Chain A
Amino acid sequence: MDWTLPPGVSTFAADIDRMYYLILWITGAAFVIVEATLVWFLIRYRSRPGRKARYYHGNLRAEVIWTAVPAVVVVMIGIMSGGVWNEIRGRDSIPPNAVPIEVRAKQFEWNATYPGPDGAFGTTDDFTARNRLTVPVDTPVVVRLTSEDVIHSLFIPAFRVKQDAVPGMTVNVWFQVTETGEYALACAELCGNGHTTMGGTVEVVAQDAYARWLEVESSRRAASR
């Protein structure tokens, strides 16, 4: 049985994965303790002729211990998770210099709009690509995510990114990728009959390549307009 997560390539992937492995160890230990005790008791205290169960109603000290220990452990898990959560989703977590991309989901495609070389939306050099997200490596990127029809969910497993795209709302979701390459993108929220086909690709390119790509794409699309 393989309990490892697939490789993560964003700055906070390691934090998420660390939380996961921490919880895996803690729950794994609890699992082994409880199941082993159960099996041991079933064997050790099985009914045999001449043996009678001991008659008592409980043990306050034991109960206090097994109330307090889980309470402390889960609160600890909560606090640690909260720290990472804040880092990813906290109020000021989005780096101010993040490169903005607008992603509008609709049945059954992802439309990514780039501000073009001028870095501003609503200008003539904006352009839109379907089912293909291109982002620079080692640069914070903020996706302004919304939906035109039903709820979708932007899921990029390798980045440890998942965020619902809700019609009528724009949610900012950010990430910073650490390795160039092509990664899968999927819809994680049931969005209709074509839900399964709503996949795409994220291409992570070097920073200078990204700037060049913006120029080329922008002028190419302007020419075709």
Chain B
Amino acid sequence: MLVSNLEFLPGRTVVRHLGLVQGSSVRSKHVGRDIAASLKNFFGGELRGYTELLSDSRDEATERMLAQAQSLGANAVLNVRYSTSSIAAGAAEIFVYGTAVELAD
């Protein structure tokens, strides 16, 4: 499955347009991590625990989007966009969406 945030692929033609596909994931970290992060907040710097959390969450959302695209019979998802929002204290939603298409080989 080809995933790209470009709108078209040079040299490849889109045979079928299958509509919007999307995937999302809401995750939060356990309290221990939050406490560790709040300590880090005094001295500044990267919060590795949160970086990993959001990155894993993004992978999961992408997988869900790809599963949806696969079930539609697509072989590529174009014009992919990510969006993140913090929806409650300690939880973030990651949303991925794109256009599922079928490309000619």
The answer to whether A binds B is: no
**Which positions in B face A, CB cutoff 8 Å?**
none
